Amino acid sequence: MAKIAVRNRNERRVNLVNRLRAKRNKLREDVSNIHLSDKERWEAMQKLQKLPRDSSPARRRNRCKLCGRPRAYNRLTGLCRLHMRTATINGMVPGMRKASW
């Protein structure tokens, strides 16, 4: 189980990414727009670099909803492999069942 501080830190990152997504996308478009002058593009790059680091989507981490485990994450359910297995055995995931032979 992940430490609560690590889970909270990731939650803060997710909130920051969602809050600044539009502003970050606008600045990224301005930086790559060839129709703007070099000065405008340079200013857009400076503004983009002044945004908080954690507002970048690459810095957030997918974690299990139940335990916060960062590895073996399943996007379909939002669970790690351990909780995915128990959910599958209990029949909680439609269309999946544990193989037995």
Please say whether the beta carbons of 62 and 75 come within 8 A: yes
Instruction: Tell me which amino acid residue 39 is.
Output: K
- The secondary structure element, H or E, covering residue 27 is helix 4-32
- In the Cβ-directed half-sphere of 57, how many Cα atoms lie within 13 Å? 8
Distance CA 87, CA 81 (A): 10
Per CATH, the homologous superfamily of domain 62-101 is Ribosomal Protein S14/S29 (4.10.830.10)
* Per-position pLDDT tens, the chain of length 101: 778 999 999 999 999 999 999 999 999 999 999 999 999 999 999 999 999 999 999 999 999 999 999 999 999 889 999 999 999 888 888 888 777 66
Q: What would the two tokens of residue 45 be? A: 């790059």
- Domain positions in the chain are 1-61, 62-101
pTM of the model: 0.75
Contact 34/10 with Cβ under 8 angstroms?
no
